[in-house]
Chain A
Amino acid sequence: MEWRDDGIILGVRRHGEASVLLEVMTRGHGRHLGLVRGGRSRRLQPALQPGNGVALVWRARLDEHLGTYAVEPLAMRAARFMDSPAALYALANAAALLRFLPERDPHEGLYEALTVLADHLHEPVLAAALTVRFELAMLCELGFGLDLTACAATGVTSGLAYVSPKSGRAVSQAAGEPYRDRLLPLPAFLRRANEPLEPGLPAIRDGFRLTGAFLERDVYGPRGLPLPDVRHRLVEAALKAAGETSG
């Protein structure tokens, strides 16, 4: 068995003296693990860092085997964002979410979203907004997608301002006003896919609150897990960065 694909490294674990087990999100083969012989060498170690983009050749005798990877670096992003705590937490949060997907199940949309996120991790405010969008995409891929296209009560497609925490559907400003205390605010950058990504601190806070509520209820909660600590730290770091940017 052999295939070639591009991937983004999610995690690296030591295996023996010189090798590593590499966990990557690939375009066509989903989240996939494999052994990299000599992965702890001076040549390969800088390339095998989470967030980096790599070209992979996977080989195994049978499809169900772990297999080995031959790795060629494509995008050495890790050094660019290592100084930013928000970036490191965002990457760890994305990797934790991707581990809910079954291995070797292709999710090309998520791969594209992860690529965009990884490319902008060194820009904390933009990375925060992209993380919220990534979490929405994860919810959708896991079968708990939100419907943010039209108001659940009136059907209108403009003036959407809230999301119902029960149905996960958008609610317009007019229809939601009497129930605003019970609804989740919908930040502007999530209303349309082509909305420019320049959110301020309140929008980022609302975005994380929105995705956090559904992740907790539909993804982590049913598995008996709390929202991961790294997500709390990501939200803190992102809000701090957004606060500093807005002055």
Chain B
Amino acid sequence: MKDIQMEPMGDQALIIRFGTVIDRTTHEKVRQFAAWLDQHPVPGMVEYIPAFTTVTIFYDPVSLYEQRKTDFSANEPIISPYEKLRLFLEAALKQLSDQPPAAGNTVEIPVLYGGEMGPDLSEVAAYHQMSEEEVIRIHSEGDYHVFMIGFAPGFPYIGGLSEKIATPRKTSPRLKIPKGSVGIAGEQTGVYSLETPGGWQIIGRTPISLFRPEHNPPSYLKAGDRVRFVPITAEEYEAYKEGEA
């Protein structure tokens, strides 16, 4: 892999940059390296966060420092824990092939669009001068890609929203957006995994919990998954809810 940059983030984290703009090619590199991290031990690593264009590694500098004392001969020049990790990762990245990572799962997310569950559906329709049914059709026909999980537990950053229904955020954010709300913000679409404040245009709600603390992994989606939104009726919504409870 070429054009990869590394820099420290404070004294216990290191950020690896695979690119600077959001695109599928850069994201494949992020996913490929994340898959490598899942398979290989990295000295001192505590955990990592993959994002759109970066992977950040959190590490324990003290354990790296102590490994240095045992692994290296006495006349080795002093190197910092960060430097030791950087050298290790540089070597690892050189060996990484350019083969794309395995495809993610395709996950269906049932959505009850409009009404009380999607209070902004009419606003989105009006903004684009189309009917609510058209917005639902375009949103549910899309082929979506999960770039990363972040912001809140299980919250997916999903790319692939049709430009035809891309809508700016609300001018004033709501104080409470219920868990499961499906929204649009600019060219992104997503699902609120917890009740939080937020400024997205809410067009529907899913009965599925995206954050499931009792499961491992606790996130319903993961980076690299393909997502399809499937319209459901109020009766189906209730049936899903009962199934989850």
Partners in one complex: no
Contact surface of B with A, Cβ cutoff 8 Å: none
